[in-house]
């Protein structure tokens, strides 16, 4: 059985923090047990043995930052989560970019990924926000680590992210979206979608990407497109 304990480190006065030395996935655990946790709970793992990304891709953790947050209210987390990381990193001394829908990049290498899973049982129950941040680079995944950029403790990084998250959930949707667009590496770029070129115009509050091809507009969900080779300029 996974041994979880309350964390004594004061990450944030707004979040109740739990800690585990090793777990398969913080998101998987909280999805199964969310009813036991109060709103604004966070589970931090020293190590994940089976971390997940979008499309159930495996994220290998090697002493990286791994944590998940439980929200019992419905926020536009698909926009807030990457923006909270972006603003936190800026406060900590460097400026990465948001790669729609859920990644943070620095120097064209992946620094962080986010997995958002909403739970419904007839009606909305909770959102689980999983955040993974590389502390060291992983060349096989074209990734970069925090240690390659600046020496920062995990505690400071997590604390700063939580502070930014708490600020953002109290702002109106338009303010959040406009702030997100400022740091996007996709908006105003040309995208290949179904073998046609589109300009990425913006993002909706549902987290969908707005595309335009000579006046023909498309609203694209994150599971409809991959940006591995889609951004051309």
The CATH number of the domain holding residue 152 is 3.30.930.10
114 HSE (CA, 13 A, CB side):
25
Same domain, residue pair 12 and 117: yes
Establish if 69 belongs to a structural domain: yes
Same domain, residue pair 20 and 111: yes
- pTM, two decimal places: 0.92
Same domain, residue pair 33 and 111: yes
Bridge partner list, 17? 42
pLDDT of residue 55: 46
Same domain, residue pair 119 and 140: yes
pLDDT of residue 153: 95
Contacts of 33 (CB under 8 A, 6+ apart): none
Strand ranges across the sheet with 216-220: 190-193, 196-203, 209-213, 216-220
Same domain, residue pair 194 and 176: no
Same domain, residue pair 135 and 24: yes
With contact defined as beta carbons under 8 Å apart, do 118 and 142 qualify? no
How far apart, in whole angstroms, are the C-alpha atoms of residue 188 and residue 209?
A: 11
Establish if 136 belongs to a structural domain: yes
Establish if 51 belongs to a structural domain: yes
Structure tokens, 27? 């998101």
Establish if 109 belongs to a structural domain: yes
Same domain, residue pair 120 and 218: no
Same domain, residue pair 48 and 109: yes
Establish if 231 belongs to a structural domain: no
pLDDT of residue 231: 63
pLDDT of residue 8: 83
Q: Which residues of the chain have pLDDT under 70?
A: 1, 50-62, 140, 226-233
How far apart, in whole angstroms, are the C-alpha atoms of residue 116 and residue 77?
A: 7
DSSP 184: B
Structure tokens, 30? 């909280």
Same domain, residue pair 199 and 175: no
Same domain, residue pair 202 and 147: no
Same domain, residue pair 205 and 177: no
Bridge partner list, 42? 17, 69
Establish if 232 belongs to a structural domain: no
Helices (H) then strands (E): counts for the chain: 5, 14
Host H or E run for residue 181? helix 173-182
Cβ neighbour number for residue 217 with a 10 Å cutoff = 12
Domain that holds residue 128: 5-182
| Total domain count, the chain | 2
Establish if 233 belongs to a structural domain: no
pLDDT of residue 1: 47
How far apart, in whole angstroms, are the C-alpha atoms of residue 75 and residue 88?
A: 19
Structure tokens, 223? 């599971």
Same domain, residue pair 122 and 215: no
Q: At which of 163, 182, 201 does a domain end? A: 182
């Amino acid at each position: 059985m996974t041994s979880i304990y309350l964390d004594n480190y004061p990450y944030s006065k707004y979040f109740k923090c739990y800690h585990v030395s090793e777990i398969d996935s913080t998101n998987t655990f909280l999805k199964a047990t969310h009813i036991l946790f109060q709103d604004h709970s966070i589970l931090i793992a020293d190590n994940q043995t089976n971390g997940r990304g979008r499309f159930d891709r495996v994220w290998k953790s090697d002493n990286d930052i791994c944590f998940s947050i439980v929200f019992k209210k419905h926020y536009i987390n698909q926009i807030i989560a990457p923006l909270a990381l972006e603003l936190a990193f800026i406060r900590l001394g460097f400026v990465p970019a948001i790669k729609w829908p859920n990644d943070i990049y620095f120097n064209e290498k992946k620094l962080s990924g986010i997995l958002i899973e909403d739970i419904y049982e007839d009606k909305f129950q909770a959102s689980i926000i999983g955040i993974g941040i590389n502390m060291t680079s992983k060349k096989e995944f074209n990734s970069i680590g925090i240690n390659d950029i600046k020496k920062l403790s995990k505690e400071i990084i997590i604390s700063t992210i939580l502070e930014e998250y708490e600020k953002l959930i109290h702002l109106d949707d338009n303010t959040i979206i406009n702030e997100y667009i400022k740091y996007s590496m996709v908006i105003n770029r040309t995208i290949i979608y179904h073998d046609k070129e589109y300009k990425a115009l913006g993002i909706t509050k549902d987290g969908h990407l707005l595309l335009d091809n000579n006046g023909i507009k498309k609203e694209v969900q994150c599971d409809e497109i991959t940006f591995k080779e889609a951004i051309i300029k």
